[in-house]
A and B are shown apart, each in its own frame.
Chain A
């Protein structure tokens, strides 16, 4: 009973915040609502006993990806009025696509293969079952080779990103710490002797 209540509460929150992401005018608000969508989805995953995925969703997507997203949105100068152009013009097409998607999804869910009657009810795992442990058990044993290749792919991404973006521009001004340290008082400071009595405005 309480499970159904939690599910419906967070499912409706997810749908509501996801809708707000696309309807709200301010892009910062949209990004923050996307964070809320991720968060409520994580709770739904938690009720499905996928606690590891739920935590990863919060840590990686909310903690890292969305923060980066917010930075990008704040740095870009987005003209909202121009983005709204053609909204009414493309609305019929958008509604048509959405309706087709809805019909397709309904036909899948109510069809023979994926209907709720055809799907067996999942058996709840024991209270001490940890899918984090289960994932860790196979990640570094069964899938160790694939895991290593994934690491190499990340290495390639780092090398590629650095070699494509790092460049020494001739006009860039750099600080030179050795020169800064070696500087002497005589190089910078000139003491001018003046008689104070002459100084009158």
Chain B
């Protein structure tokens, strides 16, 4: 047996800090009476802040790996982990009032949310099939429980059940692909896999493509790309809105990281094959997402179909296989997560005890009662549609540039066409807010929590700020892939 070398624990410091704090939150919460539940929230936010500090403290100038090469900390991991933790802070604070109103203001909610964040961080840093899979399961299991958290809601239980069954199937498909790769190459480590693939391509190309198909299916299921998107609208609608906010924002970043780790870091030699698959997935996602969203009257379902179309754009950025493309996709993913946190944040503000705001009509007259909140939602909608000067425009532009660079102009034209179709339903939301008259007694009312309003305003204004100075974020994305 070879001598065991003590692994360098320092690169995993953020994860270690987070796990220690999760245990602390879990125990402290036990001794808190219900009226002091706010302390759990405070401690959870402190956990995320401490984790961000730890990430910055250990951030290397170059890529370092540990645990026998199964864990990697590079520029991409640092940026994506900070984005994950930062957005989780927003999610936790936005969802507080909703949780109180629906009697699900419990410590376990935050513990599960933190565990999901930990799972995402492991997916981002995972450099072996085993770690990526375990991170994915940690994320998924926490999400299943969070969706079912409101036990009195039948629709939430149904959504959790659907997500559980379909998610288990997707994990099975991913595992099947992983097992075939292990069978062919004899390694679970992604770096070693990348070294073995060129040789295997000559000996056993069929088995390699076979395994690759399962990996791509697993990834696109977790991202929600067409035709593996069936779960997205039902789960977005069925889950409590605070959980929809979580599912709709942060896991997309982890999904992107998983795609990069598996397809780019491990299987870049098969780029010719997976980019063909991604073209089909991307075009189908853009088409189905944008066209079916037109028919939606439920705002959460509308945002679900909008997510599907945005996933199409992220795949467009990955499929050229160039560094500019990856950087553009990474920028797009982070921007999308920030934008949808504004949209769901506003929707959460509209909820109150005994009233579940989820239809587009619930937004009518929002401008009369709360012009500032309406303006924030309008900014978010314009950013999703890709209207300058919001950041969504720049994100779409950089992805399209990357696609055109590899001479796939037809693909860019299709993407633009579907974006124009998508503009319709984003503008309809704005029209409802500004021009539709609500029923006299149903003017949307908004709770006045100052901290949420300040955070939401900063979050919404950042969309314009990043739109004017995109290089603030784009610089890090380009650095991650150079």
Contact = CB atoms under 8 A, between A and B. Distances in A.
Interface of A: 134, 137, 141-146, 148-150, 152-153, 155-157, 159-160, 162-164, 167
Nearest to A155: B115
Contacts of B115: 152, 155-156, 159
B122 interface: yes
Contacts of A152: 19, 115, 118, 138
B394 to A, nearest CB: 36
Given A150-B134, A156-B141, A160-B145, A145 B106 contact: no
Contacts of A153: 134, 137-138, 141
B138 A146 contact: no
Contacts of B287: none
Given A149-B131, A163-B149, A156 B138 contact: yes
A145 B67 contact: yes
Nearest to B137: A153
Nearest to A162: B108
B138 A149 contact: yes
A18 to B, nearest CB: 22
Chain B contact residues (Cβ within 8 angstroms of A): what range? Answer: 20 to 34
B144 A160 contact: yes
A154 to B, nearest CB: 10
A144 B67 contact: yes
Interface of B: 1, 4, 7, 12, 19, 26, 67-68, 70-71, 106, 108, 111-112, 115, 118, 122, 128, 130-131, 134-135, 137-138, 141-142, 144-145, 148-149, 151
Interface SS majority for chain B: helix
A162 B151 CA distance: 12
Contacts of A160: 108, 112, 141-142, 144-145
A149 B134 CA distance: 7
Nearest to B138: A153
Nearest to A143: B130
A144 B7 contact: yes
A149 B137 CA distance: 10
A156, A157, A164: residue with the most chain B Cβ atoms closer than 10 Å = A156
Contacts of B4: 137, 141-142
Interface SS majority for chain A: helix
B112 A159 contact: yes
Contacts of B108: 159-160, 162-163
Smallest CB-CB A-B distances: 9 pairs = A160-B145, A163-B108, A141-B4, A149-B134, A145-B67, A156-B115, A146-B130, A156-B141, A153-B138
B139 to A, nearest CB: 10
B131 A163 contact: no
Contacts of A155: 115
Contacts of A137: 1, 4
Nearest to B131: A146
Given A149-B134, A160-B144, A163-B108, 5 more contacts: A134-B1, A149-B135, A156-B142, A156-B145, A159-B145
Contacts of A143: 130
A178 to B, nearest CB: 20
Contacts of A149: 122, 131, 134-135, 138
Contacts of B130: 143, 146
A146 B142 CA distance: 17
Contact of A164 (B67, B68, B122, B148): B148
Nearest to B66: A145
Contacts of B128: 146
A44 B439 CA distance: 73
A146 B7 contact: no
A146 B129 CA distance: 11
A141 B7 CA distance: 9
A134 B108 CA distance: 38
Contacts of B135: 149
A134, A137, A160, A162: residue with the most chain B Cβ atoms closer than 10 Å = A160
Nearest to B135: A149
A134, A145, A148: residue with the most chain B Cβ atoms closer than 10 Å = A145
Nearest to B152: A167
A152 B22 CA distance: 10
Nearest to B111: A159
20 contacts: A134-B1, A142-B4, A145-B131, A146-B128, A146-B130, A146-B131, A149-B122, A149-B131, A152-B19, A153-B141, A156-B141, A157-B141, A160-B108, A160-B112, A160-B144, A160-B145, A163-B108, A163-B112, A164-B145, A167-B151
A164 B4 CA distance: 42
B103 to A, nearest CB: 11
A164 B151 contact: yes
A44 to B, nearest CB: 21
A155 B118 CA distance: 13
B70, B71, B145, B149: residue with the most chain A Cβ atoms closer than 10 Å = B145
A81 to B, nearest CB: 28
A61 to B, nearest CB: 20
A164 B148 CA distance: 7
Nearest to B116: A156
Contacts of B26: 159
B70 A145 contact: yes
Nearest to B68: A142
A149 B111 CA distance: 15
A160 B146 CA distance: 8
Nearest to B109: A163
A198 B310 CA distance: 94
A143 to B, nearest CB: 7
Contact of A146 (B1, B19, B134, B144): B134
B246 to A, nearest CB: 15
Contacts of B149: 163-164
